[in-house]
Amino acid sequence: MTSDPLWERLHPLSPLLRGGLAILVIGGILLANFRDRILELFVAEQYLGAMGPNEGDLIDILVEQRLILVALGVALGIIVIIIFFSWLSWRFHTYRITDEAVEARSGVLFRQHRRAPLERIQSVNLQRPLLARILGLTQVEVQTAGQGGKVTLSYLGYRVAKEVRERILRSVARRRGESVAHTQEHDGTSVMPAVPAVSGGTPFEASPTGLPSRLDERAREFVDLDIDQAARASGSLVSVPIGRLLGSIALSWDIWIPVLLLVASTVSALIWNPFFLAMIIPAVLIAVGTSYSSFNKGFRFTLSRSSDGVRVGSGLTATHTETIPFGRIHAIEARQPLGWRPFGWWRVRVTTAGYGAAEAGQNSLRNVMLPVGHIDDVLRVIETLLPGVGDEPDELESLRSGLLGAGSAGGFLGAGPRAAWVLWLGKRRAGLRLEDEASENATLRVRRGWLTRSFVVMPILRAQSIQFSRPLVQRFIGLATLQAHTVLGPVQVVMRGIEVDQARAAFDTISRAMVRVQGGEAVRIRAERAKRAERAERVAPVELVDPATSVDRTMPLVQAVPFAEAEPPAHIPPALGEQT
């Protein structure tokens, strides 16, 4: 027996939910064919007589030709085959969490084997579409750094899903060499597997609904906000009141631009041509669509620092909880549209690795870390997302001045003398600063904007490269642009219109800081690997250990989830059509 944990199965109801669409389609076809029959049952004969017999009715043809039994048999056969294949694919869809990776195998004829190495995991998400939520099921999504490279487990029971997430995150933390003891201390969910439901912090014995315990549990799961117990206790929780959410949607550009379009098209229709009224429909559709998705994303939004990362959850009908392990944030941006300025509201977005091009856009809601909040919420979010930034009072003060300040106030490098040619009215606010230059937590900060204010914080540790550029216009007026490159995401770390010599000096400083901070991390990673390899060798001297991929086998395995039979389906050779 190897020390690898066993392969586990998904929830038995999952084929039903995944095949939900097929069932709907079949139901639709049946309904269409039976429509006249059903009508006949309820509506008087004379109406139908007036309409005339329906020649193309499938049922009539079948009855006439005495084929009704055959047809029923075929239908039954198809249903049995569908059920059999769903059962088979469920049998063959297994997953496991080892000390190195999260793996999933699926497919009967075409075997697929997906593997997400722990050090490449960017976040672990729990998704609950409405139907799944009612049935008490949850989809677990393990996001890795590669484009579209994710392992999806759909579906697991809600409690099992939470345990699985806990195990993955703990393995990730252990892989990074963080203390495990600390993690378990705060962990109220999987240390006590005897607790039947993870209630959202309310004492469990009270059963105010008075329903039988199964239903009660389901109801609790349905409304569970999925907040870390420790975060709730310490009060380090950021949430969004519903009034503010509605106000923020009403005052955002998402509404203003369609409204302006609407006014323009109505006026045009009245003055010139009613044809312009046709423009109203797309404008209304866009406004309704974007504001509904903003509302859904912001509804019951919570952000908390849990023991193993930052946890963000929200959702009205379908809920979504994303947990990002520490150190996976590549850049943060706080934005303030013009309409929000009187209220002092901001929205926070982040760039993390693993977004596809569609998810990385400005309009995607996947990367929102605060739908709307006051400046104190923004500071708390930045502090939560970037440990080591904003812990001290003076650091908070410097973040505050970055958000609210302008020009060279607060130690920022302001725009050059003729920068108004490229920045227009944004010249006054523009600024760039390398904060905490000497420490490991060095960040590059950029503030810009005029109608929509923006403030960007990028940890130097995560930068990919730094670029100095001089397009023709800026060259003529002695200016330059500095840009730090990050992985694909919504946040652009760029400052235009800096005086050339200052830009060059800043380029030198930033490139030196990058090399120093990232070199420090490389040394730490090497030391960690060497330590792990040494430990593995001491325990199992016979085993061939590749120092680069060695696993620490001294750690006790996380307890197996109580699944009935979890032996791997041994009759399929794993090499067949394997894809990793």
Among 179, 362, 439, 467, binds other proteins (CB under 8 A): 467
Q: Provide the minimum distance between the beta carbon of 553 and other proteins in the complex, in angstroms, as a whole number.
A: 23
Of 256 and 468, which has the nearer Cβ to other proteins?
A: 468
Tell me the window of 152-160, 204-212, 394-402, 470-478 that interacts with other proteins (CB under 8 A). Answer: 470-478
Of 392 and 501, which has the nearer Cβ to other proteins?
A: 501
Instruction: Taking the CA atoms of 249, 252, 257 and 263 in sequence, report the sign of the dihedral they define.
Output: positive
Q: Which helix (H) or strand (E) holds 458?
A: strand 453-459
Residues with Cβ < 8 Å from 540, sequence gap 6 or more?
A: 553
Among 212, 289, 471, 577, binds other proteins (CB under 8 A): 471
Of 411 and 478, which has the nearer Cβ to other proteins?
A: 478
What DSSP assignment string belongs to 164-215? HHHHHHHHHHHHTT--HHHHHHT--SSS-TT-SS--SSS-SS--TT---HHH
Among 48, 145, 420, 557, binds other proteins (CB under 8 A): 145
Instruction: Taking the CA atoms of 525, 531, 533 and 539 in sequence, report the sign of the dihedral they define.
Output: negative
Of 269 and 488, which has the nearer Cβ to other proteins?
A: 488
Of 91 and 485, which has the nearer Cβ to other proteins?
A: 485
Q: Which of residues 481-510 bind other proteins (CB under 8 A)?
A: 483, 485-488, 501, 504, 507-508
Q: Provide the minimum distance between the beta carbon of 504 and other proteins in the complex, in angstroms, as a whole number.
A: 5
Q: Provide the minimum distance between the beta carbon of 137 and other proteins in the complex, in angstroms, as a whole number.
A: 32
Among 470, 557, 568, 572, binds other proteins (CB under 8 A): 470
Q: Which of residues 94-123 bind other proteins (CB under 8 A)?
A: 119-120
Of 180 and 488, which has the nearer Cβ to other proteins?
A: 488
Q: Provide the minimum distance between the beta carbon of 525 and other proteins in the complex, in angstroms, as a whole number.
A: 7
Among 168, 310, 422, 514, binds other proteins (CB under 8 A): 514
Does position 421 interact with other proteins (CB under 8 A)? The reply is no
Of 353 and 403, which has the nearer Cβ to other proteins?
A: 353
Does position 530 interact with other proteins (CB under 8 A)? The reply is no
Of 6 and 494, which has the nearer Cβ to other proteins?
A: 494
Q: What's the gap between Cα 16 and its chain centre? A: 25
Query: Cα separation of 117 and 99, whole Å?
Result: 9
What are the angstrom distances between the C-alpha of 427 and each of 50, 415, 444, 452, 491?
Answer: 77, 6, 19, 13, 20
Q: What is the DSSP letter of 146?
A: S
Q: Which helix (H) or strand (E) holds 60?
A: helix 58-64
Does position 464 interact with other proteins (CB under 8 A)? The reply is yes
Tokens of residue 293, six digits: 């998705």
Nearest residue to 102 via CA among 122, 74, 128: 122
Q: Are strands 112-117 and 443-448 parallel, antiparallel or unpaired?
A: unpaired
Of 388 and 407, which has the nearer Cβ to other proteins?
A: 388
Q: What is the DSSP letter of 374?
A: -
Tokens of residue 246, six digits: 């509605």
Of 81 and 515, which has the nearer Cβ to other proteins?
A: 515
Pure H helices in 272-374: 280-298
User: Could you tell me how many residues of this chain bind other proteins (CB under 8 A)?
Assistant: 35
Query: Cα separation of 297 and 573, whole Å?
Result: 43
CB 539 within 8 A of CB 552: no
Query: Cα separation of 222 and 158, whole Å?
Result: 9
Query: Cα separation of 126 and 176, whole Å?
Result: 23
Q: Provide the minimum distance between the beta carbon of 364 and other proteins in the complex, in angstroms, as a whole number.
A: 17
Q: Provide the minimum distance between the beta carbon of 117 and other proteins in the complex, in angstroms, as a whole number.
A: 12
Tell me the window of 198-206, 299-307, 373-381, 468-476 that interacts with other proteins (CB under 8 A). Answer: 468-476
Among 327, 547, 569, 577, binds other proteins (CB under 8 A): 327
Of 325 and 414, which has the nearer Cβ to other proteins?
A: 325
Among 199, 236, 296, 511, binds other proteins (CB under 8 A): 511
Burial 197-233 (b: 16+ CB within 10 A, else e): bbbeeeeeeeeeeeeeeeebbbebbeebbbbbbbbbe
Of 241 and 471, which has the nearer Cβ to other proteins?
A: 471
Query: Cα separation of 420 and 342, whole Å?
Result: 25
Among 149, 428, 468, 553, binds other proteins (CB under 8 A): 468
Q: What is the DSSP letter of 561?
A: P
Tell me the window of 59-67, 93-101, 479-487, 534-542 that interacts with other proteins (CB under 8 A). Answer: 479-487
Does position 531 interact with other proteins (CB under 8 A)? The reply is no
Nearest residue to 401 via CA among 429, 426, 423, 424: 429
Would you tell me which residues interact with other proteins (CB under 8 A)? 119-120, 145, 327, 353, 461-462, 464-472, 475, 483, 485-488, 501, 504, 507-508, 511, 514-515, 518-519, 521-522, 525-526
